[in-house]
Structure 1
Amino acid sequence: MPIYILKRLLLMVPTLLGVLLVSFAVIQFVPGGPVEQMVSQLQGRSAGGEGPSAGGSAYRGRQGLSTQQVAEIKALYGFDKPAPERFWQMLTAFARFDLGQSFYQRKAVWDLVKEKLPVSISLGLWTFFISYLIAVPLGVAKAVRAGTRFDFITTLLVLVGYAIPGFVLGVALLVIFGGQLQWFPLRGLTSANWEQLSWGARIVDYLWHIALPITAMVLGSFAVTSMLTKNAFLEEIRKQYVLTARAKGLREKQILWKHVMRNALIPIITGFPAAFIGAFFTGSLLIETLFSLDGLGLLSYESVIRRDYPVVLGTLYLFTLIGLVTKLISDLCYVWVDPRVKFD
């Protein structure tokens, strides 16, 4: 086991380098970077505000700016150095867990991630816990009642919820419960006067705001977990040791919860660490935009659109590293749950 863990840790290094190298190389060929946007913006100002916008899509060259000015803009964003040198500097900074500073927000990438984390944690953890607390018992009930009307109806409802995109459901919830009935707020994670409320009122206000976005995110995640649980239980129920236990006169509940449960939950428990850790860093762009929630999903999207490369590469490095470590933990959970598994 120690040798296996060491090999996996060593393999993370080239994997992480490969992800960063490909991303960095693609960025070099993407038009409308920070230099082009700044040049375009300065040209627009010199033309009385009628020039191209700051988006960089209408950039027409370097007319109106001297070579020295363009060189100063490149130096401002660090593009005065060759690409290999910039890539090496980025790697050395990432090795110290220095993710750099945003071009446009003038903040450290770490600070931006910390600012957006509360929203993403709220969405991710509630979605994770509600999904598992409902989907796993539902999958067990479906396996025990396989082929019955209950199984058919719940499968139909789960698949319908899975087929409806989260943002479409979110729009429907906003229109019905936020607009027409006005039962829930339309935007934000808390009310404007949240700081003046008591602790009990704060909790109620927070749950009141988070109800609709969580509902929109949760319904689509039921299907995979519940059907996985059902199929795992059905596979175990049909095995020989279950027939032997029944022949010995054991009660059905004892067979189900003491014997079948331990084996059937292996694929679910092994995916638990990845789902749990991922809940802290999940970001749903459409849900966050729809409900005006400023989380990691919106941060990533805006960074790509604005060509804020330190934020793009910094968050990519952080999330890739977390994903690789989480994958290793998930694989090790196989041994913890089932000692028969060997990594020879």
Structure 2
Amino acid sequence: MIHYVAKRLLLMIPTLLGILLLTFTVIQFVPGGPVEQMVSELRGKGHGSQEAGGGGQSFYRGQQGIDAERMAEIKALYGFDKPAPERFWIMLKGFATFDLGTSFFHQKSVWELIKEKMPVSISLGLWTLVITYLVSVPVGIAKAVREGSRFDTATSFLILSGYAIPSFVLGVVLLVLFGGGSFLQWFPLRGLTSDNWEQLSLVGKVTDYLWHITLPVFAEVVGAFAVITMLTKNTFIEEIRKQYVLTARAKGLPERAVLYRHIFRNALLPLLTGFPAAFIGAFFTGSLLIETLFSLDGLGLLSYNAIMQRDYPVVMGMLFIFTLAGLFAKLVSDVSYVLADPRVKFEGVGQ
């Protein structure tokens, strides 16, 4: 096990470097970077000062553009006075010590920005994960046991209908129906807490938080039920049809004992191995559309704004953290699979 884990950890290094290098290279060819944005802003101010009578100092020189000294200062401000390979190496040295740099536009450390936005993403991710597993696994087992029944047909229709509805569309419907739209005003429109949250009691804080998180979480989980439910059903059906189950029934064991003593452990292996990755992903997953719709300032919205604003330290810093978390989640999933099923050998995992 130690040899396998060490091997996987070493393989993470070239994988991570390759992803960072590819993204960094693409960024170099994307127009509209921070230098271009600053130049455009200065040009606008230059035109404005000329129209107003030339008052104030302007670094814009008409058709000559920005003077060379000022352009050099702008490039140095954003670190673009160095060649691309040197900038990439400086970035890697910072990432090695988990120094993700400073945002161009927020004037804050990227770590600070991630820590500020993460509570929103954790709230959405963990609640979605917990509710999805608590509902989908029992329903999937019930569907497998009652395969072909009316219950199986009805639940399949419901969960597949929910899966077909985009979470953003469902969120709009929920706001119209229950968020003060054309019908009822049972839930708030924005934020995770009320403005007076600090003055509330402990019970009041918990109630207020749950009151705010209900609609966005509901919009997220409805579409997530289908995958886990159908996976649970199919794995249980596959195990039910195996020879050892027929042998257990032939020995006279009650159906409940056959299900929970023999089938349950083997059938849950795919779910158990996928849970660590889903759990880690819940801390970093940000849904842009849901966060925008419900005015939740989380990681999804931060990532989108960073890309649109060409805030490269935020883009690369979040890519580094997300990629590292994903690689570790995959390793944990593979190790948990081997621990859950001793028949699986490390040499064959992840290949």
TM-score (norm 1): 0.96
Partner of residue 38, structure 1: 38
Alpha-carbon spacing, 1:305–1:62, altered in 2? closer, same or farther (3 Å): farther
Mapped pair 1:215 → 2:218: yes
Mapped pair 1:317 → 2:307: no
- Which residue, 266, 291, 296 being the options, matches 1:293? 296
Mapped pair 1:280 → 2:283: yes
- Measured after TM superposition, the shift of residue 50 of structure 1 is 9.7
CA distance in 2, matches of 1:64, 1:70: 10
Residues 80-136 of structure 1: per-residue CA shift (max 9 Å, x gap): 000000000000110011000000100000000000011001000000000000000
Partner of residue 96, structure 1: 97
Consecutive unaligned residues in structure 1, runs of 5 or more: 52-60
Partner of residue 176, structure 2: 175
Partner of residue 12, structure 2: 12
Q: In the comparison of the two structures, how many residue pairs are matched? A: 335
Partner of residue 150, structure 2: 149
Residues 279-333 of structure 1: per-residue CA shift (max 9 Å, x gap): 1111000000000000000000000000000000000001100100110000011
Partner of residue 82, structure 1: 83
Partner of residue 336, structure 1: 339
Residues 241-287 of structure 1: per-residue CA shift (max 9 Å, x gap): 01110111111111101110000000000001001111111100000
- Measured after TM superposition, the shift of residue 49 of structure 1 is 7.2
Q: How does 1:179-198 map to 2 (within 5 A)?
A: 179=181, 180-198=183-201
CA contact (8 A) 1:39 1:62 kept: no
Partner of residue 2, structure 1: 2
CA contact (8 A) 1:102 1:108 kept: yes
Consecutive unaligned residues in structure 2, runs of 5 or more: 52-61
Partner of residue 66, structure 1: 67
CA distance in 2, matches of 1:148, 1:182: 39
Partner of residue 239, structure 2: 236
CA distance in 2, matches of 1:7, 1:141: 41
CA contact (8 A) 1:184 1:208 kept: yes
CA distance in 2, matches of 1:114, 1:187: 20
AA partner of residue 115 (structure 1): E
AA partner of residue 343 (structure 1): F
CA contact (8 A) 1:44 1:50 kept: no
AA partner of residue 87 (structure 2): R
Partner of residue 56, structure 1: none
CA distance in 2, matches of 1:202, 1:224: 33
Mapped pair 1:138 → 2:139: yes
AA partner of residue 172 (structure 1): V
Partner of residue 48, structure 1: 48
CA distance in 1, matches of 2:113, 2:64: 35
CA distance in 1, matches of 2:25, 2:204: 50
What SS does the corresponding residue of 2:194 show, helix, strand or coil?
coil
CA distance in 1, matches of 2:283, 2:14: 25
RMSD between superposed Cα atoms in Å: 1.3
Alpha-carbon spacing, 1:88–1:17, altered in 2? closer, same or farther (3 Å): same
Alpha-carbon spacing, 1:307–1:139, altered in 2? closer, same or farther (3 Å): same
Residues 205-259 of structure 1: per-residue CA shift (max 9 Å, x gap): 1111100000000000000000000000000000010111011111111110111
- Measured after TM superposition, the shift of residue 62 of structure 1 is 7.9
CA distance in 2, matches of 1:81, 1:113: 27
CA distance in 1, matches of 2:326, 2:206: 31
Percent identity, aligned pairs only, is: 70
- Measured after TM superposition, the shift of residue 343 of structure 1 is 2.1
AA partner of residue 284 (structure 1): S
Mapped pair 1:264 → 2:267: yes
Partner of residue 55, structure 2: none
AA partner of residue 83 (structure 2): P
CA distance in 1, matches of 2:194, 2:127: 19
CA distance in 1, matches of 2:266, 2:200: 48
What SS does the corresponding residue of 1:316 show, helix, strand or coil?
helix
What SS does the corresponding residue of 2:285 show, helix, strand or coil?
coil
CA distance in 2, matches of 1:161, 1:113: 31
- Measured after TM superposition, the shift of residue 64 of structure 1 is 3.2
Runs (4+) of structure 1 exceeding 6 A deviation are none
CA distance in 1, matches of 2:223, 2:339: 30
Partner of residue 250, structure 2: 247
Partner of residue 58, structure 1: none
Partner of residue 304, structure 1: 307
